[in-house]
């Protein structure tokens, strides 16, 4: 009986229910917040997050994977405060989010760096997974890394290889951020394969940002899951195209290789609330249940395929770990 670590403890993988595989509770810039504390109120933010997750549970979603890692402002105590009152189960992640460079304290450590020593990232990630994050005992259930437009810079390569090694040590799955138009998923698969990772343990994230079926087919052929995980970010790709791409891949027989999500958050400091409300009204947790699922059904996707993407695939991804 496979178990997965969540913010509120260990759960049987079969109990995860319907899962959104790439979301965020809080995206925070700590340095900004420490220096401009008026930009954050803990009680208000916690209450607001709990309200949003209560509504999400009523809409039929049981679990979210919070892929907020270092670089996005992971703050596990704040997530715990939400998780303790949330009817939606939350899975925490470890890893590093950056498009090109690590921060100085990591850039100067590790093999070939100014102060040398072992690669610190592997130990950081493994500790988060096996002992828990920041002394809370809350263990990360998934690993996260990024390859965006700048490609595999030296620091990005360090992170990808450290994530691969932490995966091989712990067995927890890997989920990524990519620039899909630059086909960065293929770069990630190459490095993971070199490290000996089974690509079936990898979700290539933001794959839904492209409708290039040849590229998506290559990712699937190599064995990975596709994160069709930015529903609601209609400025990057329209709702209609996102739905049509998932439907096309289901017709090819790949419901078993896709997961659905929004990449949204209870609150992010990076996007002004008024901008978000005005320009990205669909970028919220219930968009998939309210709009995407009906549109997929309308496009000929069977209810069984929807359950495969929301229930079976997430369960399989965590069970393999
Ligand atoms: Zn994200």
**In order along the chain (321 residues), what is the average pLDDT of each group of 10 residues?**
93 97 97 92 96 98 98 98 98 98 96 95 98 98 98 98 98 98 98 98 98 98 98 96 98 98 96 93 97 98 98 96 64
Distance (Å) from CA 115 to ligand 1 centroid = 32
Left (φ > 0), alpha (ψ -120 to 50) or beta: where does 36 sit? Answer: beta
The pLDDT value given to residue 42: 94
Distance (Å) from CA 172 to ligand 1 centroid = 18
The pLDDT value given to residue 1: 63
The pLDDT value given to residue 321: 64
Token code pair at residue 288: 């998939």
Distance (Å) from CA 317 to ligand 1 centroid = 18
Check: CB of residue 19 under 8 Å from CB of residue 314: yes
Alpha helices in 36-102 (DSSP H): 42-58, 76-83
Distance (Å) from CA 302 to ligand 1 centroid = 28
**How far lies 28's CA from each of 84, 137, 267, 270, in Å?**
20, 22, 8, 8
Distance (Å) from CA 23 to ligand 1 centroid = 6
- Euclidean distance between CA atoms 279 and 307, whole angstroms: 30
CA 231 to chain centre: 13
Query: In which residue are the tokens 């996007």 written?
Result: 271
The pLDDT value given to residue 39: 86
Distance (Å) from CA 117 to ligand 1 centroid = 31
H or E element that contains 276: helix 273-279
Distance (Å) from CA 206 to ligand 1 centroid = 8
The pLDDT value given to residue 27: 97
Domains of the chain, first to last? 3-319 (3.20.20.140)
């Amino acid at each position: 009986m496979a178990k997965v670590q969540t913010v509120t403890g260990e759960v049987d993988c079969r109990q995860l229910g319907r899962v959104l595989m790439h979301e965020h509770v809080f995206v925070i810039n700590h340095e900004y917040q420490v220096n401009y504390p008026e930009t954050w109120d803990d009680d208000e933010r916690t209450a607001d997050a709990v309200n949003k997750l209560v509504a999400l549970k009523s809409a039929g979603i049981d679990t979210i994977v919070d892929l907020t890692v270092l670089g996005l402002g992971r703050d596990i105590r704040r997530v715990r405060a939400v998780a303790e009152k949330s009817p939606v189960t939350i899975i925490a992640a470890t890893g590093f989010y950056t498009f090109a460079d690590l921060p100085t304290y990591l850039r100067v450590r590790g093999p070939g760096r100014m102060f040398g020593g072992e690669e610190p990232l592997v130990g950081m990630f493994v500790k988060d997974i096996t002992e828990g994050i920041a002394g809370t005992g809350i263990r990360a259930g998934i690993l996260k890394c990024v390859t965006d437009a700048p490609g595999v810079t030296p620091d990005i390569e360090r992170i990808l290889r450290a994530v691969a090694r932490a995966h091989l040590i712990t067995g927890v799955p890997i989920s990524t951020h990519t620039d899909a138009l630059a086909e960065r998923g293929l770069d990630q698969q190459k490095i993971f394969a070199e490290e000996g990772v089974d690509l079936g343990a990898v979700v290539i994230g933001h794959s839904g940002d492209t409708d290039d079926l040849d590229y998506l087919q290559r990712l699937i052929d190599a064995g990975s899951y596709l994160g069709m995980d930015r529903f609601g970010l209609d400025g990057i790709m329209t709702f209609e195209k996102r739905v049509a791409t998932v439907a096309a891949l289901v017709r090819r027989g790949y419901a078993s290789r896709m997961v659905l999500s929004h990449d949204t958050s209870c609150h992010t400091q990076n996007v002004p609330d008024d901008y978000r409300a005005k320009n990205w009204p669909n970028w919220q947790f219930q968009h998939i249940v309210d709009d995407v699922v009906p549109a997929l059904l309308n496009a000929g996707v069977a209810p069984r395929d929807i359950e495969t993407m929301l229930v079976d695939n997430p369960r399989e991804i965590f069970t393999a770990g």
